């Protein structure tokens, strides 16, 4: 999208910019991966057995959990203190019955052994045990270990909980994990479409708190339910590559709108706004701050405050936020966007990196009730195909959505529920 000014406060984001940006990025991606697939991959001999690698990954997972869970959950804050009163138990008027029914069907389709691995208490620390990296040893039942019927009802649970856009994004991330396997000498022991796990916290209920989690490489969804309220954070979406230039899922792509609309928004700022929004122009590494094990990050507001934007710029920012929120079902996405709008004047937009098509960058949108990060990352599992394996590139993207001030995983709502209804007494 390109920004054009009418006076000093208006801009329009045009399809021409989107098309030109897409051409630049797709051409670059096609050249990179097309060339890689035409030549024989120079892979090293496997120096460890399957069992040795599994044990190494297990130890790495334990180390990550030990560090990440050392502190009890507090939530992301700007100064170490949770702002009270932001989230209330209330009726949204949007039913969660389809999600509950889908969860019941899913659990009924599992064997007793699978259910035993999948079910956890609603307040279990299992909520916090997610990690983007492929090596992480996950809990729950894996799509890989499901039969076709079980796999279908698991996808139905995603379908009932997410929008069509959210389901497509999630499934495309899973498919691109297969592409990643293809680009690593068909290593489907490590990568693959079905290497994703589901856990269910609590008993699916119309009145009691419960939820589910999807956990796997580049796709993490935490979905908390209390009555007709839903909290769908932390949410992690990413991929490497983000566009499949060849292979089984050639043409599959993710996070291109999030990339291009973010680029258009920074391009639409005037000089004074840009000076505030752009924290630094050099981007040489990874910038995301709130990925796995970062539940208690202290992160102050930075960048340009939305109260300083024009009406048209504010709408563009809301449209960008909606790209992430609209992964939820339509009704609960509207509820969340209403919450976002109530705090819009205290929302901040920050940028790191280049501001032209094809450049690498990071942006952050931060308010008391939502935190979004988008980041072009350094190659991780495709270093052997990268022009510069130490520099970020547009073929590796991480995006994270959080609910600051203690309501990730719906924990503030759960706290309030327990205060009203004393359990276990």
Tens of pLDDT, residues 220-233: 999 999 999 999 99
Does 336 reside within a domain?
yes
Which residues in 54-195 belong to E strands, given as ranges? 119-120, 141-142
Does 52 reside within a domain?
no
How far is it, in rounded angstroms, from Cα 294 to Cα 48?
A: 31
Bridge-based pairing state of the strands 348-353 and 278-280: parallel
Closest-CA residue to 372 (of 267, 258, 221, 281): 258
Quote the pLDDT of residue 35.
38
* Secondary structure element (H or E) that encloses residue 6, with its range: strand 3-6
Bridge-based pairing state of the strands 210-216 and 196-201: antiparallel
Give 300's strand partners.
none
Closest-CA residue to 369 (of 402, 398, 400): 402
Closest-CA residue to 375 (of 265, 268, 255, 293): 255
> Alpha-carbon Rg of the chain, whole angstroms?
21
Does 23 reside within a domain?
yes
Residue 158 buriedness (CB in 10 A; 0-12 / 13-18 / 19+): buried
What is the value of pTM for the model shown?
A: 0.89
Contacts (Cβ under 8 Å, ≥6 apart) of 161 = 99, 102, 212, 221, 223, 232, 328, 329
**Residue-wise pLDDT tens digits, 125-169:** 999 999 999 999 999 999 999 999 999 999 999 999 999 999 999
How far is it, in rounded angstroms, from Cα 78 to Cα 169?
A: 30
HSE (side-chain half, CA atoms, 13 Å) at 375: 23
Q: In this structure, are residues 96 and 225 in contact, taking their beta carbons and an 8 Å threshold?
A: yes
**Residue-wise pLDDT tens digits, 221-280:** 999 999 999 999 999 999 999 999 999 999 999 999 999 999 999 999 999 999 999 999
Does 57 reside within a domain?
no
**Residue-wise pLDDT tens digits, 343-380:** 999 999 999 999 999 999 999 999 999 999 999 999 99
Query: Which domain covers residue 338, as residue numbers?
Result: 3-40+80-420
C-alpha distances (whole Å) from 168 to each of 60, 163, 252, 328, 413 are: 31, 8, 10, 12, 29
Does 49 reside within a domain?
no
Q: In this structure, are residues 321 and 340 in contact, taking their beta carbons and an 8 Å threshold?
A: yes
Number of independent structural domains in the chain: 1
How far is it, in rounded angstroms, from Cα 379 to Cα 391?
A: 7
How far is it, in rounded angstroms, from Cα 209 to Cα 333?
A: 19
How far is it, in rounded angstroms, from Cα 191 to Cα 270?
A: 44
Q: How far is CA 57 from the centre of its chain?
A: 23
Does 311 reside within a domain?
yes
Q: In this structure, are residues 233 and 412 in contact, taking their beta carbons and an 8 Å threshold?
A: no
């Amino acid at each position: 999208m390109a920004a054009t000014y009418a006076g000093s406060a208006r801009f329009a984001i045009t399809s021409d910019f989107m098309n030109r940006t897409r051409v630049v990025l797709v051409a670059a991606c096609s050249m990179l991966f097309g060339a890689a697939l035409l030549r024989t991959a120079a892979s090293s001999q496997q120096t460890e057995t399957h069992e040795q690698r599994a044990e190494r990954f297990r130890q790495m997972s334990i180390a990550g959990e030990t560090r990440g869970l050392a502190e009890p959950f507090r939530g992301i804050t700007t100064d170490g203190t949770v702002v009270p009163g932001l989230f209330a138990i209330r009726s949204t008027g949007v039913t969660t019955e389809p999600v509950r029914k889908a969860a019941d069907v899913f659990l009924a389709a599992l064997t007793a052994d699978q259910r035993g691995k999948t079910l956890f208490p609603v307040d279990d620390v299992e909520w916090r045990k997610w990690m983007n990296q492929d090596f992480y040893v996950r809990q729950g039942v894996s799509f890989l270990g499901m039969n076709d019927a079980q796999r279908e009802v698991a996808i139905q649970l995603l379908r009932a909980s997410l929008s069509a856009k959210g389901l497509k994004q999630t499934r495309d991330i899973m498919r691109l994990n297969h592409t990643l396997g293809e680009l690593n000498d068909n290593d489907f022991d490590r990568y693959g479409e079905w290497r994703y796990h589901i856990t269910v916290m609590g008993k699916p209920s119309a009145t009691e708190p419960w939820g589910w989690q999807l956990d796997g490489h580049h796709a993490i969804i935490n979905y908390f339910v209390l009555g007709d309220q839903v909290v769908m954070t932390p949410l992690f979406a990413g991929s490497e590559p983000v566009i499949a230039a060849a292979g089984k899922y050639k043409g599959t792509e993710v996070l291109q709108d999030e990339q291009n609309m973010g680029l258009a928004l920074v391009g639409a700022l005037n000089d004074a706004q840009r000076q505030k929004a752009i924290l630094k122009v050099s981007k040489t590494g990874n910038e995301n701050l709130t990925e796995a094990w970062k539940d208690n990050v202290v992160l102050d507001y930075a960048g340009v405050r939305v109260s300083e934007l024009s009406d048209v710029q504010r709408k563009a920012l809301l449209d960008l936020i909606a790209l992430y929120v609209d992964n939820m079902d339509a009704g609960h996405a509207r509820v969340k966007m209403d919450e976002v709008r109530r705090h819009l004047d205290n929302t901040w937009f920050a940028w790191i990196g280049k501001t032209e098509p094809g450049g690498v960058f990071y942006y952050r949108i931060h308010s008391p009730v939502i935190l979004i990060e988008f980041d072009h990352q350094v190659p991780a599992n495709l270093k052997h195909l990268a022009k510069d394996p130490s520099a970020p590139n547009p073929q590796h993207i991480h995006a994270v959505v959080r609910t600051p001030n203690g309501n990730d995983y719906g924990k503030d709502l759960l706290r309030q529920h327990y205060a009203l209804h004393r359990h276990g007494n």
